Amino acid sequence: MMAQTSLDGIKLNLMPATLMTAPGKATIAEQIVTSITPAASSNAVPDWMKRLQVAADANLSGNGWYLFADVNVAPCWVYGSLAGSQGPRLTTDDPFTIQGLSVKLEHDFGVAAIDYRGAYFNAGA
């Protein structure tokens, strides 16, 4: 991940901040980043791995895993609302002809991928 380059060919030196796995691998991922005192120094967990936050997503399956850089350093996605829409809109209707209340909630929200350099995927073993 640190070897990713900018459009100008400059090395970005991105440090991973989040490790994302499938739910079935979340415990293993947490064990990997846990600070432990190993019996042999060759088994020590590197400091950068201890700082990783583990996340799991039910949409993932298998042994594959993702590394993501800090979103403030190298964002991969951008999100926002439709121009003029600051948040969800709630509309109610209380018709005279029926007992009850109709409620409608609308939220104009979008997400788009903007750059792949802040992420890394490994298919796993």
DSSP codes, 73-121: TS--EEEEE-TT--S-EEEEE--SSSSS-EEEEE--EEEEE--STTEEE
Q: With a cut of 50, which residues of the chain have pLDDT below it?
A: none
pTM assigned to the model: 0.69
pLDDT score at 17 = 92
User: Domain ranges in the chain?
Assistant: 16-122
